[in-house]
Structure 1
């Protein structure tokens, strides 16, 4: 931990680093996904669970940073701070997705060449607000609520969690919050083991099924993170960043469990990860101390990179997916140079976005609001 912007409160530098580790794995997951024959055999099979990890981290950090400030903080002030933190990269991601949209025309997205510019522009403007678009406005063909930047769906639910926290759930006592978290965990467990797909993936389409999945994936981890921020008494754990990074990687890289004959086993594994392992990882990370300048630099770099990387990488992944789909039957051996180029490009794009856009825009917004 280090002292930082939260006044006298120490800053959980290791948690920032873990967010970066998970973001890197998300990129790799999206690069291996189009090479799989189905959701059962992706090489990075549980990469999508990084989103649930992000939600839990977010709940923990928000609870830690804001729970004891509400005697001076207004709901509008809180939401403005979240807007300043999240929204600049939402706008950038949608804009970059619009710029590259027509260049990703592919057999996998038959709608692209039929979309007039005005419609794409309207979808971009709606995307700036993160309001989900209906299926009738789908311009790519994947039934996404944000077809110009696929990952926007998780930011939509992040905002919902923040609004619920600000409007009332922050007022719950620790015991009442624990009851809420237990109930949300029971809903998540039930869905995970009974879902016909055998996993928790979903949340990106504006229909009942995906809205249910999205809320299920949001409510438990976010508010479990909030609860953890209230009750955790961090110890001093050595090499916490290393151990937590290995745990995050092990969880997200785990192959599919149970196969198509025992889908519930995979669902049970994912529920166990979200309900048990992710809170444990966050607790260990919050208990760790950065002990060297090198580790501090790594955590800072990964933490700063994590959100820009998450919000801009899919812009490049669209090009990669189009290339894979236009070369049917391509193998990992043939695809890895292009995957590596996309991965490297995503890191460069994220760092450039951070330094030339995100940090300056957030500083401008802070000065404007001040």
Structure 2
């Protein structure tokens, strides 16, 4: 199964864009974490990095697991592989955040525990990745983990997504994709802040299905030759969507970018195939899920060490970015990668193949 190197690198930019939202944009009553002297709609729309993840996830999983590829795998094998992929890093970051929040609350007497974001019932749901199994809602102990919970829903229901997506007929595939964009447009115009809905499935379901449909369309257009500049044109569509605050238009551009980059012939694909970008793309999940921990301790440390707070905002941002990437690399090599291998060996396809040989 070939690896889509440009799409792996694209995950990095989606993750970093979410960081821009959390660090450089004022929202939910809080000021920006850093003042770098520049304000931009690009920072505001950083939540759309999650939407890009959802579409990309549907595309990659369909390519790897759809039975039409000749790789028939049972659902239990798929679930084990997905748990091995997301759960170890997820649970470690959740536990570290829980300890940090409890410790901070005890030291500062801030009385955060028991609130909407830091309740015992919420922690229970987050432990089992169930907190986002609703239309939308508040954050949590590690609030960025809501999207992982939503992804978990997609994994559990993956056979339903595959069953519902048309095959081989490009008109039906495009019609179904149009319906998904219509659903997103309705969500956007009826929500108070476009597609900036955390904590639920409202964005996940139509966007993950879009990814499934994109993969089905790629199988029909396997010899498509109009891709050489398609990713750059799709990037322009994304930029227009950001400038016009039209989130659904951005998702349309992101879908076009993912499809065109998957062929590996686009001009942008060569840039995104650089080894360093691919490596950082491989750890992008760790960058995303660990981000609140360095941010949490950085904010606390900045309040205790004035010389850090006196540094220029851009320098502070670069410092925290370096710490976050270092933490992500550590998480990748000490938790994500070894635990993924161990779980697959113990419970996944590798163990079943060994058992079959032994029998």
TM-score by length of 2: 0.75
Which among 337, 340, 344 is matched to residue 362 of structure 1? 340
Task: Tell me, in whole angstroms, the C-alpha distance in 2 between the residues paired with 1:193 and 1:126.
Answer: 30
Q: What are the residue-to-residue correspondences of 1:114-193 with 2, within 5 Å?
A: 124=123, 126-132=125-131, 144-147=138-141, 149-166=142-159, 168-172=160-164, 173-174=166-167, 178-193=174-189
Runs (5+) with no aligned partner, structure 2: 34-38, 352-359
Task: Tell me, in whole angstroms, the C-alpha distance in 2 between the residues paired with 1:32 and 1:352.
Answer: 25
Which among 268, 280, 288 is matched to residue 256 of structure 2? 280
Change (3 A) 1:333 1:270: farther
Give the C-alpha shift of residue 215 in structure 1: 2.6
Task: Tell me, in whole angstroms, the C-alpha distance in 1 between the residues paired with 2:44 and 2:62.
Answer: 31
Runs (5+) with no aligned partner, structure 1: 1-5, 135-142, 205-213, 258-265
Give the C-alpha shift of residue 278 in structure 1: 1.0
- Count of residue pairs the alignment pairs up: 319
The 8 Å contact of residues 19 and 54 in structure 1, kept in 2 or not, is answered as: yes
Residue by residue over 1:184-236, the C-alpha shift from the partner in whole angstroms, topping out at 9 and shown as x without a partner, is: 32121122123333x110122xxxxxxxxx33311222111111111123656
| CA RMSD of superposed structures (Å) | 3.9
Residue by residue over 1:260-295, the C-alpha shift from the partner in whole angstroms, topping out at 9 and shown as x without a partner, is: xxxxxx3xx111111x20111102211225987994
Bigger RCO (CA 8 Å, 6+ sep): 1
Q: What are the residue-to-residue correspondences of 1:208-287 with 2, within 5 Å?
A: 214-232=200-218, 233=221, 235=224, 243=232, 250=239, 254=242, 257=244, 266=245, 269-274=246-251, 276-287=252-263
Change (3 A) 1:178 1:238: closer
Which among 190, 197, 200 is matched to residue 195 of structure 2? 200
Change (3 A) 1:42 1:182: closer
Task: Tell me, in whole angstroms, the C-alpha distance in 1 between the residues paired with 2:235 and 2:253.
Answer: 12
Q: What are the residue-to-residue correspondences of 1:274-353 with 2, within 5 Å?
A: 274=251, 276-289=252-265, 295-320=273-298, 334-353=312-331
